[in-house]
Amino acid sequence: MAGLTTGGPNVDVGLLYEVNGAARRAPAWLDTAVSLAGEYGILLALVLLVLWCWRGARRQDELAATESFTALVWAPLAAGLALLVNVPLRELVGRQRPFHQHEGLQVLDPGWGAGLGNTEFSFVSGHTTVAMALGVGLFVANRKLGVLGIGLALVEGLCRVYMGVNYPTDVIGGLALGTAVVLVLAPLALALLNPVVRSVAGSRRFGRLVRAAGRARPLPVDLAPPRTPPAGRRPQDKDLAA
Question: The pTM is what?
Answer: 0.76
Phi, psi dihedrals of residue 129, rounded to the nearest 5°: -60, -50
Listed in sequence order, the DSSP H helices in the chain are: 11-25, 28-36, 42-57, 62-93, 98-101, 110-113, 126-141, 143-162, 168-201, 236-241
Q: Residue type at 74? A: W
Query: Which range is least confidently modeled, 35-39, 60-64, 86-90?
Result: 60-64
Mean pLDDT of the chain: 78
pLDDT, tens digit, for every residue of 55-86?
A: 877 777 777 777 788 888 899 999 999 999 99
Beta bridge mates, 2: 102
Nearest to 81 by CA among 126, 142, 141: 126
Query: Which range is least confidently modeled, 39-53, 56-70, 180-194, 211-225?
Result: 211-225
Asked whether the beta carbons of 20 and 106 are under 8 A apart, the reply is yes
Q: Taking phi first (over 0 means left), then psi (-120 to 50 degrees means alpha), and beta for anything else, what does residue 60 get?
A: beta
Q: What is the CA radius of gyration of the chain?
A: 27
